[in-house]
Amino acid sequence: MARSSGSLSRYLVTRLLLVIPMVWILLTIVFVLMRVAPGDPVQAALGGRLPQSVIEQKRHELGFDKPLIVQYGHYLGGVLTGNFGHATSQNRSVMDIVTHEGAATLELSVAAMFFALILGLGIGVLIGRFRDSPLDVVGRLFGIITYAAPVFWVGILFQLLFVAKLGVLPSSGQADVLQNIDLQNHAHTHIYVLDAIINGNWDDLRNVLVHLILPGLTLGLLVCGVFIRLVRVNVIQTLKHDYIEAARARGIGETRVVLKHAFRNALVPVVTVVGLQAALLLSGAVLTETTFNWPGIGQALILYLNQRDYAAVQGIVTVFALIVVGVSLVIDIVTALIDPRVRYS
Amino acid sequence: MRQARSRAAIALVGTASLVALAACGSSSSGGNKSGGGGNNAGGNTKTIVWGSTDKPVSYDPAGAYDLPSWNVIYNVYQNLLRLDPTTEKNVPDAAQSCDPSADFKTWTCKLKPGLKFSNGDPLTAADVKFSFDRVIKINDPSGPSSLLAKVKTDAPDATTVVFHLASGNALWDYILSTGAGAIVDSKVFPADKKLADNKIVGSGPYELASYQTNQVAQFKPNPNYGGDLKLNNGGLVIQYYQDENALKLDVEQGKVDVVYPGLSPTADTELKGKSGVNVISGPGGAIRYLVFNTKTMPGGSDAQKRAIRRAVAFLIDRESIAKNVYQGTVQPLYTMVAKGLAGSEDVYKTEFGDTPDKSKAQQELQKAGVKTPVNLQIWWTPSHYGALSSDEYTEIKRQLEASGLFKVDLKSTEWEQYTANCLADKCPVYQLGWFPDYPDTDDYVGQFFGSTSFLNDHYSNAQVDSLLKDEEGTRDQAKRVDDFKKIQEITVADAPVIPYWQGSQIAITHGSVSGIQDTLTPDYIFRFWLLGKS
């Protein structure tokens, strides 16, 4: 017991310390990439008919007239204090963008992961159990197609089917217009599902959940293909183990053998992959949000890219990078908690 | 074991409950909450939901010279004068009168007493002076400062405003009624920079009640509105969309009451047959044209540059653009003055014909010693002028390259960057569109051909400047029409700009929305207060 907790502590400390150089490298890459892009961010965002003196003043206000190393220092210092910059094209701080639009993306991502896990794990277990059957073939094909299909194309198809043809789901947005305004005016977390629950407004909650279905399912399908194949392989591997034979020999039913013994052990690598899929979710969210007019950070990124608002783009990309690092850290810790082999290795 | 099963059961039940909750409830459609306050006509208090793929630049009048922004500005702020939609003449708004001196160089306006902004601050002449001064001082690249060039504003007392113009302008009252003349609260708006959109305050019939950047803006009747407009609704919500497909689906479903401006021609046509959907068209003075930066465009001399412009003018096939790109929803245009306005003449048809003529284009280039094919970089912008801009410029490229005389390199960027680049000598040839600021021919010729034209295309003609000064300085319509014709005839030979289509206005409604036809007027002012819903 003492040895186990000591190795876990050591692992956690090591893992936390590794975050520092990882974050530093990521931040440096973001800074360099934004600076090597041709053009001056201020000129790009505000140039044109503004007198050069005003342009120079704005460059000075934003620190772009300082040496690169000084700008780098300011950038790192800003990140450490939670200041990710200001959108030049609109009078908004990046933190404000991340708070409002980031909450919408978080809501979408959680819904997508929910659908991805339900479908991915469910189908993966099924086809792993019935390996090489027609069900297995269909399941694997489904996984490949959902992974390969462009997310915006899937979204448009869903809109055609569920909105245009069947008329059972809304086409876009986080909520209907007036519910949207109501939730904005009574916002606590800016995550509409939570805010509706906190406000005790069940109409708003129903409305928000209905709006989550199509975009969540669209984005979730992108990710579930990976889970299907991973769970299938792990279930097949696990079912070959001796303890599975022993369980069968003891007369335990096949369903219980698969779900209670094989599936649980097959889940361990899936936890790791969930963390890796966070990055895929964020990139998929950009196109999903555009298709469904979802007011998330992905859609905001497109808007600021089109407006050449480098300051906002840099801030948002920095936040993306930090989110991926954070999620990876959490997943590594969870994996260490559930699989002792990780912390001993 | 038992605990694990219980936990799993609880999780399953919880998830099922959430899903059941979602499935049982149907999303309620918007637009039926009652509003209040303001000058409500007939007690119609329903909220109108307006869907748009437009991207407004700013709700601050100092930072906006685009239709999506002005659509809001006209409804939140007052001007000294406003355009009556029926007569298209200026009538009092915040001012009870605005009178010019004999030479039209001085205009004196008297404010109505007792006006207030939506936050209760009194509206005085000082606020009017402040509003005009800050537009000029801020000089935002996306703003309307070009409309107020060289004007000096005085406020000798609390209800009197005096404008001193550098040269006589008989149309100054029209400019007062545009978005450039919107009156802002000097206690709220900064003098030297734009105000954030969510903080705007005006004295118009509506106030901004809530705002989510790039997503949704809610407008409620202004309880402190002191004007005489009667509101036919209890408020309006603008839902902004990034993608027209989602908007099209929402208007079909009735989630959106009004779509303005319309969607792409394909989508508009598809919606015509749908139950509950009405596609309404109105007169339009919107034009589309190609601009040549006479400084940076290809050509080793002024003569060669002129020859290149004329060659392009000989090759543009307007019928093909109207038919193949816009499916007949726009009309070929052969003048920079929209058809229907006084003095409009098809000068480009007279000069260059109405079908492409490769031999004449070739002669122009040979005469000037221009080597072919000419490498021509043409810029366009993807979303500001609608989703078909891409097809439009692909077609123009095809037309020019089919002659063998040009090799076209198409470039594009989004609107804010586009204006910053193209109005600063970075685009040799570029796309622009025009919605009228006010329904007078001067708004077309003055803006495009004057030496101080916002186009910054470096085109200048002293005779044209003189004619512009002449027509602006008189209210003799016959004389003005004569001036307009001469301006068109002089400038067509140099072709610094090439017009190619004129479009009408389209609005789409779902259900019984009234008042749309009343606001689809040539001035392109979308008047919220006229819209009603039963």
pLDDT at A37: 66
pLDDT at B171: 93
Residues A292 and A289: their CA atoms lie apart, in Å, by 5
Which tens digits make up the pLDDT trace of B230-249?
Answer: 999 999 999 998 888 889 99
pLDDT at A295: 92
Rounded to the nearest angstrom, the minimum Cα separation between B143 and chain A is 10
Find chain A residues with C-beta within 8 A of B416's C-beta. Answer: 45, 89, 307-308
Find chain B residues with C-beta within 8 A of A156's C-beta. Answer: 245
pLDDT at A63: 74
Residue among A254, A271, A307 nearest A89 (CA):
A307
Q: Do B27 and A47 touch (CB under 8 A)?
A: no
pLDDT band at B411 (very low <50, low <70, confident <90, very high): very high
pLDDT at B127: 98
Burial class (CB in 10 A: 0-12, 13-18, 19+), B345: middle
Q: Give Cβ neighbours of residue B86 (< 8 Å, ≥ 6 apart).
A: none
Which tens digits make up the pLDDT trace of B250-267?
Answer: 999 899 999 998 888 888
Highest mean pLDDT among A177-186, A313-322, B368-377: B368-377
Q: Do B242 and A156 touch (CB under 8 A)?
A: no
Please check whether residue A291 touches B, CB under 8 A. yes
Higher per-residue pLDDT: B97 or A70: B97
Higher per-residue pLDDT: A14 or A140: A140
Residue among B92, B148, B94, B83 nearest B124 (CA):
B94
Higher per-residue pLDDT: B465 or A245: B465
Please check whether residue A110 touches B, CB under 8 A. no
Res A47 pLDDT > 60: no
As a whole-number percent, the residues of chain B with pLDDT over 70 amount to 92
| Closest Cα in chain B to A197 | B18
B160-165 and B151-157 beta bridge pairing:
antiparallel
Res B31 pLDDT > 50: no
Q: Do B249 and A307 touch (CB under 8 A)?
A: no
Beta bridge partners of B379: B411, B430
pLDDT at B23: 43
Which of A153, A171, A288, A313 should be substituted to probe chain B, the one whose Cβ sees the most B Cβ atoms within 10 Å?
A: A171
pLDDT at B4: 41
Find chain A residues with C-beta within 8 A of B25's C-beta. Answer: 202-203, 206-207, 210
Which tens digits make up the pLDDT trace of B150-188?
Answer: 899 999 999 999 999 998 999 999 999 999 999 999 999
Res A261 pLDDT > 90: no
pLDDT at B387: 80
Higher per-residue pLDDT: A343 or A285: A285
What is the rounded average pLDDT of the residues B83-102?
Answer: 94
pLDDT band at B5 (very low <50, low <70, confident <90, very high): very low
Rg value, chain B, Cα: 25
Res B36 pLDDT > 70: no
pLDDT band at B309 (very low <50, low <70, confident <90, very high): very high
pLDDT at B25: 40
Q: Do B416 and A45 touch (CB under 8 A)?
A: yes
Q: Do A295 and B423 touch (CB under 8 A)?
A: no
Mean pLDDT rounded to a whole number for chain A = 84
Residues A191 and A212: their CA atoms lie apart, in Å, by 12
Res A59 pLDDT > 50: yes
CA atoms within 13 A on the CB side of A204: 22
Res B42 pLDDT > 80: no
pLDDT at A33: 80
Q: Do A180 and B216 touch (CB under 8 A)?
A: yes
Res B446 pLDDT > 60: yes
Please check whether residue A215 touches B, CB under 8 A. no
Q: Give Cβ neighbours of residue A17 (< 8 Å, ≥ 6 apart).
A: none
Q: Do B196 and A179 touch (CB under 8 A)?
A: no
Res A62 pLDDT > 80: no
What is the rounded average pLDDT of the residues B314-336?
Answer: 94
Q: Do A290 and B241 touch (CB under 8 A)?
A: no
Residues B336 and B344: their CA atoms lie apart, in Å, by 8
Instruction: Find out whether B260 and B50 touch, Cβ atoms under 8 Å.
Output: yes
Q: Is the peptide bond before B261 cis (omega within 30 degrees of 0)?
A: yes
Find chain A residues with C-beta within 8 A of B18's C-beta. Answer: 209
Res A91 pLDDT > 70: no
| Closest Cα in chain B to A180 | B216
| Closest Cα in chain B to A168 | B26
**Collapsed DSSP state (helix, strand, coil) of residue A324:** helix
Find chain B residues with C-beta within 8 A of A293's C-beta. Answer: 241-243, 246-247
Higher per-residue pLDDT: B498 or A248: B498
Rounded to the nearest angstrom, the minimum Cα separation between B76 and chain A is 19
Find chain A residues with C-beta within 8 A of B414's C-beta. Answer: 306-308
Instruction: Find out whether B492 and B500 touch, Cβ atoms under 8 Å.
Output: no
Please check whether residue A186 touches B, CB under 8 A. no
Res B299 pLDDT > 50: yes
pLDDT at B455: 86
pLDDT at A341: 67
Residue B395 structure tokens: 């077609």
Stretch among A44-53, A209-218, B335-344 having the lowest mean pLDDT: A44-53
At which residue do the structure tokens 């004569």 appear? B482
What is the rounded average pLDDT of the residues B398-424?
Answer: 91
Q: Do A291 and B246 touch (CB under 8 A)?
A: yes
Instruction: Find out whether B181 and B77 touch, Cβ atoms under 8 Å.
Output: no
pLDDT at B32: 36
Residue among B251, B254, B217 nearest B236 (CA):
B217
Element (H, E) at B463: helix B462-472
Residues B279 and B262: their CA atoms lie apart, in Å, by 8
Please check whether residue A185 touches B, CB under 8 A. yes
Q: Do B30 and A300 touch (CB under 8 A)?
A: no
Least CB–CB distance from B141: residue in A49, A179, A306: A49
| Closest Cα in chain A to B237 | A177
b/e string for B257-293 if b means 16 or more Cβ within 10 A? bbbbbbbbbebbeebeeeeebbbbebebbbbbbbbbb
Q: How far is CA A159 from the centre of its chain?
A: 22
Residues 298-317 of A with CB under 8 A from B: 299-300, 302-303, 306-308
Instruction: Find out whether B288 and B501 touch, Cβ atoms under 8 Å.
Output: yes
Which tens digits make up the pLDDT trace of A106-165?
Answer: 999 999 999 999 999 999 988 988 889 999 999 999 999 998 999 999 999 999 999 989
Residues A247 and A257: their CA atoms lie apart, in Å, by 7
Res B334 pLDDT > 50: yes
Residues B384 and B171: their CA atoms lie apart, in Å, by 28
**Model confidence, pTM:** 0.81
Sheet strands (E) in chain A: 86-87, 92-93
Which tens digits make up the pLDDT trace of A262-278?
Answer: 777 777 777 778 777 87
Q: How far is CA A56 from the centre of its chain?
A: 38
Find chain B residues with C-beta within 8 A of A210's C-beta. Answer: 22, 25-27
Residues A313 and A85: their CA atoms lie apart, in Å, by 10
Mean pLDDT rounded to a whole number for chain B = 89
pLDDT band at A11 (very low <50, low <70, confident <90, very high): confident
pLDDT band at B288 (very low <50, low <70, confident <90, very high): very high
Find chain B residues with C-beta within 8 A of A164's C-beta. Answer: 249, 252
Q: Is the peptide bond before B373 cis (omega within 30 degrees of 0)?
A: yes
Q: Do B212 and A303 touch (CB under 8 A)?
A: no
pLDDT at B7: 47
Residues 38-77 of A with CB under 8 A from B: 44-51
Residue B144 structure tokens: 């309307």
Least CB–CB distance from A177: residue in B25, B139, B239: B239
pLDDT at B504: 87
